[in-house]
Amino acid sequence: MGVRMLWPSPVNRVATLNLGGEPMPVDKPLNFVVLVGSLRRGSFNAAIARALPGLAPSDVAIVPLGSVGEFPLFNQDVEAQGFPSAVVAMGEAIAEADGVIIVTPEYNYSVPGVLKNAIDWLSRLLTKPFAGKPVAIQSASPGIFGGVRAQHHLRQTLVFLDARALAQPEVMIPQAHNKVDANTGELTDATTRDFIAKQLQAFAAFARR
């Protein structure tokens, strides 16, 4: 079982990774990748994802992963012929990153099929890119709940993947159509931007543990 150490003295400022990993300096620059669970051109969740680099701490870089729309429907017969290149590339990017941010809408009380399909493909890779990987979840919806039910289902899936999901703070953005500029696709709501920035700060600390 992994152990979380208390913060040591300033002379030896390191945090210990969960699951017995190597010590990580608390001021080490971090690289996060973003997985978007929507294909829609005017997606509110894609708009949230695009805003993340500008809201992250100065020592955190955030880059997008490829589109989940590039994955074929999961089929074990296809897998037997070799993993699609898009699956392999995304798996490698996740494995190399210090953490993953998943930004997703809610469809029918759950995650979109395209996102679940991508996760199913990635889970089949021998490298198990999500195992032990810090993951933060964000969701946006035109409704009043902000995608909470999608997040709950996604957390169940992440348990099986052995990912390390950030518990708090949660980012669920209701009435997203009032917070994203329809013409520019920019997240303009100051309160929402502020709260996301706080989650990213917490996620950076979480990833360094």
The pLDDT score that the predictor gives to residue 23 is 54
Output the DSSP codes for 109-150.
Answer: TB--HHHHHHHHHHHHSTT-TTTT-EEEEEEE-SSSSTTHHH
Tokens for 172, please give them: 């669920």
pTM for this predicted structure:
0.88
Q: Residue 51 — pLDDT band, cuts 50, 70, 90?
A: very high
- Asked if omega into 25 is within 30° of 0 (cis), the reply is no
